[in-house]
Amino acid sequence: MEIDINFIPKSRKYLEKFVHSNYRDFLLDMNEYRPSNGYGEFPNSSYIVQCMREITHIIGGDFSDLSIPEKFSTSEDLILQVKNFIDHLKSFENYFVESVNELTSKSKEIPIPILTINGNRKRTIEVFEKFINLAEIESDQREGILTKIHNPTDIEKVENILKRFHSVVNQLKNRRKEEGIPRNTIKIKDEYDVQDLLHGLLKIHFDDIRAEEWNPSYAGSSKRSDFLLKKEKIVIEVKKTRTNLKDKQIGEQLIIDKANYSKHSDCKVLICFVYDPELLIKNPIGIKNDLKEVSDDFTTLVYILPNE
């Protein structure tokens, strides 16, 4: 899913307005409030005057153009640069505090450069921090819109069902009671129970679900797939672990299944669903890595749940 890199237009416009409206005034203050212009030296005068230079040069240089991707590669890049600028301006805080405290202790008047430059610094920080808040709100809002309009692929639809399968099983255990007795419900005791519940869940997204499709024989035996989504060319192979069906046996069976399905004319994607509620599989990542394959001709995906 592509995301428009210009997803914070309103917040950028807000910052652009501040920069373009204040740069000329900042330039005048930078040239005016210098000791050599008759204001003389004052505590931390070199740092305070330097602060005004930094505000002017960085705003005029780094933030005079907020275009994306011409100036900033992404909106995230712009936000990061703004945060760095804010931190830089805040690093001058102690120079102003020390200067004012020293002058006050000596009952001296606070020079205009200190008041004006510190005012420019604080105002710039305030505006740039507000830009970040606006940008983050704008970004979250657009991300929400993109999520709502995103159309999941067929594989994503199946994946979502499989990842929530265990939660559905647990929910079915908590049925309403009649006179203190819970209503009957499906109990997942073996592979057939897994198939029955999964078949019902697949109906949410798919119309043509073909169960028990026979595949060509492999190594002297024939193999039956659990579900074929013919239109989508997806086969879903279901396994449920038990005491005598763990890592080694599951891995061996799925390798044979993969070889069978790769020759199936209606199978472009094989999804292997291993339901392991007792967590008998000790190395799910190993099984997945051994079987996973993604190509234009044939793709194999393995989901071992709920232990992922």
> Which domain CATH number covers 223?
3.40.1350
Q: Is residue 189 domain-shared with residue 141, that is, in the same domain? A: no
Q: Does residue 176 form part of some domain?
A: no
Containing structural domain, residue 25: 9-149
Among candidate residues 95, 130, 149, the one where a domain is terminated = 149
CB 211 within 8 A of CB 192: no
Q: Is residue 108 domain-shared with residue 31, that is, in the same domain? A: yes
- Summarize pLDDT for 153-212 with one digit per residue, the tens: 999 999 999 999 999 998 888 877 777 777 788 888 999 999 999 999 999 999 999 986
CB atoms within 10 A of CB 294: 9
* pLDDT, mean of residues 63-89: 90
**What is the rounded CA–CA span in Å between residue 127 and residue 19?**
10
Structure-token pair, residue 168: 């559905």
Q: Is residue 138 domain-shared with residue 242, that is, in the same domain? A: no
pLDDT of residue 222: 56
Q: Is residue 265 domain-shared with residue 210, that is, in the same domain? A: yes
Q: Is residue 117 domain-shared with residue 245, that is, in the same domain? A: no
Give the count of domains, the chain: 2
Closest CA to 254 of 203, 292, 297: 292
Among candidate residues 109, 131, 149, the one where a domain is terminated = 149
Q: Is residue 106 domain-shared with residue 231, that is, in the same domain? A: no
Q: Is the pLDDT of residue 121 over 70?
A: yes
Q: Does residue 135 form part of some domain?
A: yes
Q: Is residue 185 domain-shared with residue 118, that is, in the same domain? A: no
